[in-house]
Structures are given as structure tokens and as C-alpha cells.
Amino acid sequence: MKKILHVIAFIVVANTLHAQQLDAFVQQYTTQGKALGIRSNFNGVVLVAKDNQILLNKAYGFANFKTKKKLTTDSKFLIGSLTKPFVALLVVQQVEKGTIKLNQPITDFLPYIDKEKGKQITIHHLLANTSGIPHYDGLRGHIKSMRSFSSQKMTPTEYAQLVNKTGLTTIPGSKFEYSSLGYVLLGAVLEEVTGLTFSELIADYIANPLDLKNTGFGDNDFLKNEIVKNYRLRKGTYTESENRDQSNTYTAGGMHATAKELFIWSQALQDNKLLKKRLTKKLFKKNSNGYTYGWMRNDVEILRYIPQAQFYGHSGSVNMFTSYLFMGDDGTTIIILSNAARIQPYKMVSQIYRKTHQEDLSSSTRIIVPSFRTKAQFLKEGGYTQIKKYHKVLTKSAGFNVFPTGGYIQRVIRMHVKEKMDTEALETLIVSFIKENQNAEDLINRTAYEFAKTDAKKGLYYFKLNTKYFSSSANTWDSLGEFYEKQQQLIEAEKAYVKAVDLAKKHFHTNTVSFKKNLARVKKRTLNK
């Protein structure tokens, strides 16, 4: 017995020391946040746990900067898009009950959705972010402005009808594209199926079964009276930020919680307390680009700092709130809630993970792509070899293909042109990155536009290459048409624009009106020539 007590005492002392070390480490972010890579000083709550045991749960800073009221570990924060895993769970719970089938089209539940478009989009597509429904930028042209939209009150049905006005950015099921509007539709489906509000669904199916008192979806008055204030940082001064109307934050990002209750919920989820084991596995099964149902498997924003980790995670940002929940396969849980200046939490989460594992932080594990600012810096940081390493290492760690972004490659091309470098090796690399790259269309398109600035022949080659690989994409044909029009090849431009418009109509593309304008313009130019 005495030996057992000594072991327990040792564990308690070790955990206490570990907690103190973690606390001291997090404290640095409260005063050196910008220098440490999170954009601003940290003001919020951090929870760190290992194997179901909380090592650190501490508040840093203020709930109200004006009154200097301090945050506590019971402070309630808006969690932004960390709402989405809750929504996904509610949907899969209904799948378990038999009221929803994953392969059902959304028109089975929302009859006011365009029939031809809606029958192509399933519940699975919405959950996995492969529906083709755009993110908030898809609302442009259907709302006065994003600023006015933020204060707009809507019922779930009205919100879904607004989403219905947007077109599709891609063919449903063809690729991953993050969409908050898709999760708005899931909220409308849930309410239609159950007859309950989103607030009631959270309470009945998640909060009450787990005895969570501070987790839910509240109205605007609840935010005003119960949620910590959130702040912008301008010229060194914190000013209170206005909240979006909760009716349009909704199932995309309107929930509130405490760090401790997010931890309890995440543990219950992993322990199959909210779903049968078979459906919990379904919830966490990887789809396109590593996105599951409401979770990112091995989020690349985190993984590039700690490629040795395996985890599920999700970030959130709404108003000036920021959140991140990290669930490691090794039993490590990290939760960050912030209410000031909308930080970038990825490096902070990664460094806390390494600190929890008592790694030497002076030695970086980060995987980066080389700089595109100068040829010398590019080559010094590994050049093409390092770009290949980035792809290889992160693909192996993530469990799905990870490529440098089209925007990055575009800047590397600019550097090559500016520095008068031979682009043959770079182009070979670009072509090798097309296969099994869900963002290949964007990569080729950016490559084409960049080369077209200085070499029309090469630009045309890549524009045509894009229409070859992505012949069903209206975007690729519109880009080809734009190239021909700039080259004064109006007949060829018209042919390409006709193809773009036909495909856009067929696939309900969100830019159909723009494509039609391009076609009308070039027809008019042809007639006037």
C-alpha cells in the first residue's frame, strides 16, 4: 500500500510540475503573441489534457477590458466553426435513428430548394464539404453587403432559401471546398426532420445527456448577457466588437461553450457515448482532402508544424472570437478559446503539443516550402527539392495528398520570370503535381495566367491543358476564352465562352451570369469588327 501511495504521490507531483511548465509557456503568448506567430497577444482560456487527465485549464486576461473583469475557466465563448462538429454529430445521430439517410438528396427535406440543382446534393456532400455550395463569398450579388448581412435576421427556412439563390462552385462530389452555407442547410434539414430548433437539438441530444450547463446555442440577448465580450485590436487599443446576429451565424458558427465542457464532449464522442461505435467511425472517416463529417483529419495548418502528430481538429472564428480543438491519437487534447483580435492559433496549438511531450522547442520540426522572394533565398531553402519534400512528408503524415497551393506556385513562377531563371524544372514539377491533386484546376489556371503575362504560347498551352484535364469545368473554358480575347482571337474566344456558359448552366455554376456577360461582350466585339 505504501508503495502504491508513493507512486500516486509521484504522479501528482510530476503532473503539477508539468502543469506549471505549460502555464509558464502559455504565459509567453499573453505578452509576445505577435513575435510567437499568433498575430496578437493571447487573451483567453487554454486547456491541455493527456489520457483523460487535465494537465492545465487556465484563463488568461479579461472577459471585459473596460471593467477589467477577468476571464475564468467557466467563461463562455462563442466557438465559431467549431460548431460544425456538433452539427455533424446531430445529423449522424439522426442517421442512427433512421430519420436521415446519408445518400438522400436535400430536396427530400427542403422542398423549396431548386429541384434540378438540389437533387444532385446529398446529406453526405454537405457533411463532407463536397456539395459545391460556396462559402460566404457566394452570397455576393444576393445581399447588399457582408456588413449589412451580419445584422440581418432570418429564420432557418429564409436562410436556406437565400443559400438556394447561390450557384455551385464545383460539381457536387467532385472536390472538397469548405462551405459554411452547406452547414446552414444541414441546420435547416435537422429542424425540418425533428421539429426542434437548433438550440433544442443541442440541449436534448448533447448537452443534457452529458450534463453540460454552459454549452449551447443562444440568442442575441444571451450573447449580450452571458458570453464574454470580444475585442478588435487597433493601434494598440482594444475596442469591443459587434456580434453578428445569431440567426445568421446559426449552425455555421453560433454555438457557445467553455473549454472544460468542450473537453468533456470530445471525450464522450471518442468513447462512443453519443453514437454507436459503427457510426462514430463513420463520423471520423476521412473523405476528400482529409475532411470527415465536421472534423479535419490531420489539419495541414497544424501538421506542417508537427508532422509527427496524428489527430482530428477543427478551428473556429466568429466576430473576434477564435477557437481550436485538437484531439490527438495519442490521447493529447488541446483546446484554445480566445476573445480578442482573432488570433491564428495553429502555431500555438502545435507548440503546446510539443511542450506537452517535453520536446526541445529550440529544434524546429516545421516543414516549409522555400521562399519565393529571391532566387538566392529560394535555392538556399532547398528549391525544388524542398518543395518535393514538403509534398512527400506532409502527404505521408496527413494520409492524403498535400500539395503547395496554386497561389504559392504562382509566386514562384513570378520569381523565375523576374530573376530570368529557366522554368523547365519548375514546369516538370507543376505537371507532376497535377495527378491526384484536388486543387489541380486552380494550380494549372494560376500557372497559365502567370506565364501568359510574358509568354503567350506557354500560357495558351496551360489554358488548353486545363480544359483537357477538367473538360466539365466552366471555369477552365472561361479562362481560355479570356486568354483568346486578350490575344484578339475573337472567334476562338467566343467558342470557349459558349462552352463555359453551356457547362455553367448545366452545373448551376455560381458565376453563370459573369460567363454570360463575357460571351455577350465578345459577340458584340465580333460583330463590330
Rounded to two decimals, the pTM is 0.95
- State the DSSP H helix or E strand holding residue 358, giving kind and residue range, or none if neither: none
Q: Per DSSP, what are the bridge partners of residue 256?
A: 78, 216
Write down the H helix ranges in 214-356: 220-226, 246-253, 259-270, 277-283, 300-303, 346-356
Q: Within a 10 A sphere around the Cβ of 528, how many other Cβ atoms?
A: 7
Residue pair 320/223 in contact by the 8 Å Cβ criterion:
no
Can you give the pLDDT at residue 18?
81
pLDDT value of residue 5: 46
Give 142's Cβ-side CA count (13 Å radius): 18
State the Cα–Cα distance between residues 155 and 198, nearest whole angstrom: 11
> How much is the pLDDT for 8?
44
pLDDT of residue 13: 43
Output the CA–CA distances (angstroms, integers) from residue 153 to 158, 248, 441, 454, 466, in the order listed. 9, 7, 37, 49, 42
**Domain 78-295+317-331 coded CATH 3.40.30.10:** no
Q: Select 375-528's CATH number: 3.50.50.60, 3.10.310.70, 1.25.40.10, 1.10.3720.10.
A: 1.25.40.10
Kind plus residue range of the DSSP H or E element containing 320: none
Mean pLDDT split into 10-residue runs, the chain, 529 residues: 48 64 97 95 98 96 96 98 98 98 98 96 98 96 91 96 96 96 98 98 98 98 97 93 96 98 98 97 96 98 97 98 98 98 97 96 95 96 97 98 97 96 96 95 98 97 98 98 97 97 97 97 90
All CATH 3.40.710.10 domain ranges in the chain, comma separated: 78-295+317-331
From 207, 208, 159, 166, select the one nearest 185 (Cα to Cα). Answer: 159
Determine the pLDDT at residue 11.
46
Alpha helices per DSSP H over 339-404: 346-356, 375-380, 383-398
What pLDDT is recorded for position 17?
58
Contacts for 418-425: CB closer than 8 Å, 24+ residues apart: 419/374, 419/375, 421/375, 423/451, 425/384
Backbone angles phi, psi at 53, to 5 degrees: -110, 125
Rounded to whole angstroms, how far apart are CA atoms 197 and 350?
A: 36
Predicted confidence at residue 506, as pLDDT, reads 96
3-class SS of residue 187: helix
Question: Beta partners for 315?
Answer: 324
Grid coordinates standing for 386? 524542398
| Distance (Å, whole) CA 129 – CA 91 | 14
The predicted structure's pLDDT at residue 1: 59
**Where exactly does CATH 1.25.40.10 map onto the chain?**
375-528
| Euclidean distance between the first and the last CA atom of the chain, given in angstroms as a whole number | 98
Q: What is the pLDDT of residue 529?
A: 72
Grid coordinates representing 301? 495548418
- Per-residue confidence (pLDDT) for residue 75, from 0 to 100: 98
Rounded CA-CA distance 58/491 in Å is 66
Distance CA(257)–CA(263), nearest Å, equals: 10
Q: What pLDDT is recorded for position 247?
A: 97
